[in-house]
Amino acid sequence: MRILVLLGPPGAGKGTQAKRLEKAYGIVQLSTGDMLRAAVASGSALGQQAKDVMDAGRLMPDDIMTKIISDRVEQPDCANGFILDGFPRTRAQAEALDALLDGKGLALDKVIELKVVEQALVERISGRFACANCGAGYHDTFQPPKTPGVCDVCGSTEFKRRADDTAETVRARLAAYREQTAPILPYYRDKGILVEVDGMADIDEVTRQIEQLLNG
């Protein structure tokens, strides 16, 4: 059984790598957003508590999030292990996660941090755009259409950008990551389970590095 935490700022490639890990190791990615939505949709008492918090626009209390995770990891699809994405974000949450797992006779195998160069990440994210018709992805610098202004896939001349992919928004999200999540890195480093991967490398190379660390 493999139990992993995937850390890194927005745009570091956590989602892409989590999907590859799911396929390679038969484990499931557990994102906080997905778990919260599923809990609310279930109509359970815990889900109702979560809904009340969300409807009020408040931050989700650690005890509710921990209970949701505790219930989720008991599901059959987590039998081979799971990857947590978006939790923990604070030292208190990291300690609560350890206690939760210990109570189930489990423990984290690795905490994988995707290291990034912030300015390069700003350029990577803020340059993204997509075809408005078929959704094909492009980048101003790294992957422009072969014919400027024309989609390689469907020939459309209409493109779109995500509203939150501006350089200013990306910098704000990186600052929030530094302030909120980065402080838990020493906690896991002291436990000897934190490993670092070059998140700026090619996608396949990042995958290779992660698998080497997990299989070593």
CA 74 → CA 35, 80, 106, 158, 213, distances in Å? 13, 11, 12, 46, 26
Contact assessment for residue 27 and residue 81, using Cβ atoms and an 8 Å cutoff: yes
* 8-state DSSP, 198: E
* Phi/psi of residue 181, nearest 5 degrees: -100, -40
Pairing of the two strands 110-115 and 28-31: unpaired
d(CA 214, CA 151): 39
Catalytic residues: 14, 89, 128, 162, 173
d(CA 115, CA 118): 9
* Phi/psi of residue 128, nearest 5 degrees: -75, 145
d(CA 168, CA 193): 33
Pairing of the two strands 137-139 and 128-131: antiparallel
Helix (H, G, I), strand (E, B) or coil at 162: coil
